[in-house]
Amino acid sequence: MSNAIETRGLEYRIGRSFEIRDLALNVPEGSIYGFLGPNGAGKTTTIQLLLAMRRARAGSITVLGKRVPQEITAVLSRTGYVPERPHVDPSLKIDEALRFHAAFYRSWDDKEGERLLAQFDLDRSRRIKRLSKGETGKFLMVLALAQRPDLLLLDEPTDGLDPVVRREVMTAVVDYVSQRGATVFISSHLVHEVERMCNWIGVMDKGRLVSEMTTDSFKSGIKRLRVTGAPQSMADPPFVLLSRQPSEGVIEGELWVVRGWQAPMRDYFESAGARLTEVTDLDLEDGFVELLRTSRSRQPLEGR
H helices present in the chain, as ranges = 43-50, 72-76, 94-102, 110-119, 133-146, 163-180, 191-197, 215-221, 266-271, 284-295
Give, as one character, the DSSP assignment of residue 59: E
Task: Give the Cα separation of 274 and 267 in Å (integer).
Answer: 10
C-alpha closest to that of 198 among 223, 224, 219, 222: 219
Identity of the residue numbered 194? V
Query: What's residue 63's pLDDT?
Result: 98
Query: What's residue 298's pLDDT?
Result: 43
Return phi, psi of residue 223, to 5°: -130, 155
Query: What's residue 289's pLDDT?
Result: 83
Digit-by-digit pLDDT tens for the chain (304 residues) are 699 999 999 999 988 888 999 999 999 999 999 999 988 899 999 999 999 999 999 999 999 999 999 999 999 999 999 998 888 999 999 999 999 999 999 999 999 999 999 999 999 999 999 999 999 999 999 999 999 999 999 999 988 888 899 899 999 999 999 999 999 999 988 888 788 899 999 999 999 998 898 988 887 788 889 999 888 887 788 988 888 888 766 567 888 888 888 889 999 998 888 999 999 888 888 888 877 877 776 434 433 3
Distance of alpha carbon 111 from the chain centroid:
30
Return phi, psi of residue 99, to 5°: -65, -35
From residue 54, give the alpha-carbon distance in Å to each of 9, 183, 280.
16, 22, 43
Contacts of 132 (CB under 8 A, 6+ apart): none
Task: Give the Cα separation of 200 and 221 in Å (integer).
Answer: 14
- Residue 197, SS3 per DSSP: helix
Query: What's residue 76's pLDDT?
Result: 96
- Residue 293, SS3 per DSSP: helix
Residue 15 region by backbone torsions, left for phi larger than 0, else alpha for psi between -120 and 50, else beta: left
Domains in the chain, ordered, with CATH? 3-206 (3.40.50.300), 217-295 (3.30.70)
pTM across the whole model: 0.86
Query: What's residue 249's pLDDT?
Result: 60
Q: What is the 3-state secondary structure (H, E, C) of 208-276?
A: EEEEEEEHHHHHHHEEEEEEECCCCCCCCCCCEEEEEEECCCCCCCEEEEEECCCHHHHHHHHHCCCEE
From residue 124, give the alpha-carbon distance in Å to each of 98, 104, 183, 184.
9, 19, 28, 27
Q: Would you call 262 exposed, middle or buried from its count of C-beta atoms within 10 A (0-12, 13-18, 19+)?
A: exposed
